[in-house]
Structure 1
Amino acid sequence: MNRKEEKYFQKLGARIKQLREEREIDQKSFAFDCEIGRTQLYMIEKGRTNPRLLTLMKIADGLEISIAELLKN
């Protein structure tokens, strides 16, 4: 991953975490509801991984927003 990609994934992860916390959902419950691993969600929120599109779709659905809204800067 190059520096530009790292920054993008960190911003995306921070956004996911912020939206999840605004809904007062803990990480473990949210991961379970989205049918993804808790460790995977942790890595996404920390910007340490490149999430697959299907995973982002599950997260957006769990947050009850569109994928476009999730990816918004």
Structure 2
Amino acid sequence: MVKKADILVRFGARVRELRLQQDYSQEAFAHACELDRTYIGGIERGERNLALRNIERIAEALGVTLAELMKGL
């Protein structure tokens, strides 16, 4: 049986995927989210267990719904 990657790793990969699709640098994206760049880096590496408010900020900055952000996780 294949073990699924940790939810934090999967979420981080999804954020990175959507960020790159929109041609955001990590720094510009962090600014759009009103979060620190190092925090965004930690999210994308699956190192951060983020608050729901920050998940909402990320979705808003990407212009997607929470459901779209979570798609495929």
The TM-score, its normalising length taken from structure 2, stands at: 0.89
Number of aligned pairs? Answer: 69
Q: Alpha carbon RMSD of aligned pairs, Å?
A: 1.3
* In structure 1, C-alpha distance between the alignment counterparts of 2:33 and 2:48, rounded to whole Å: 17
Alpha-carbon offset, residue 68 of structure 1? 1.2
The structure where helix makes up a greater share of residues is: 1
Q: What's 1:17 paired with?
A: 16
* In structure 2, C-alpha distance between the alignment counterparts of 1:58 and 1:49, rounded to whole Å: 15
Map 1:20-31; keep pairs closer than 5 Å.
20-31=19-30
Query: Percent of aligned positions with the same letter in both sequences?
Result: 36
Spell out structure 1 runs of 4+ moving beyond 4 A: none
Q: What's 1:45 paired with?
A: 44
* Structure 1 alignment gaps of length 5 or more: none
